[in-house]
Structure 1
Amino acid sequence: MAVSTDLRARRPHGLRDLRRLVRYGISGGTAALTHFTVLTALVELTGLRPVLASAIGFLCGLVVSYTLQRRWVFATGLKHAFTLPRFLAVVGLGLAINSTVLWIGTEHLHHHYALVQLVAFAVVPLNNYVLNSLWTFRERA
């Protein structure tokens, strides 16, 4: 009997984590679309260098990301004064990774900025999800 109770206790937690991961993917996709749209517009319409345009796009995506993650993905009641500085620290690391990938890919390897940005989109979200789950939005027991 103890085994079946233990399994039932784990199941909702795993389902909650799966839902949260799917929501993170949706919110991340929305933030990435915002980021990529701003990046493309700035490069194509204003001639801004891709690394700077990507950093600006990244910051626009940040607003979308924080709002969706705090309210919908992690659904936390923690105060902004607690979560926002942590979120910004995680995002700062993400921006550094993103900008490094863009700089190496476009300035040194001379690949098209859109292709390089897609590579960065594969690296940064994983880092951010882990840190936001374990640190930024984690409510203390």
Structure 2
Amino acid sequence: INLAFELGHSYRLWSVLSEIMEQRGASADDTEQDDETPPASPFDGLVASWDDERLAACLAFVREWNTNARRAGVAQALLSSILRSIPFERLKQLPGVASLVDGLLPYTERHFLRIDKLAEASFVIDYTLTEINELEGR
């Protein structure tokens, strides 16, 4: 991770973070979570240790990754960790953070709408399968 940051290799950093998400995501599925608490991201501890320069670079990478649906999952998980782990006062002091946020918002909204439509479609499929099973049972 440190080397990817130092060299400015956003794709390498995304690859490493993606692997971390996959590895920790499998073990996180086994733990119970209450409905009130948001799930912890595998990046929370990592993000909390970064200095301002690394945070600014990371936010720039997140903005870049967020433009691609394939990379948006890692981008959103990392953004969530940043927003949970870093105080707002510190974030607003980062250079260029306003333009980074302006670049994040439209794509984040698009990803949210896409996921929302997929969730809605899954309910329709679930309902249809339930009805088919009931008809077959009669």
- TM interval, shorter chain, is 0.3 to 0.5
With the length of structure 1 as denominator, give the TM-score of the two structures.
0.33
The TM-score, its normalising length taken from structure 2, stands at 0.33
The structure that has the greater radius of gyration is: 2
Higher helix content, 1 or 2: 1
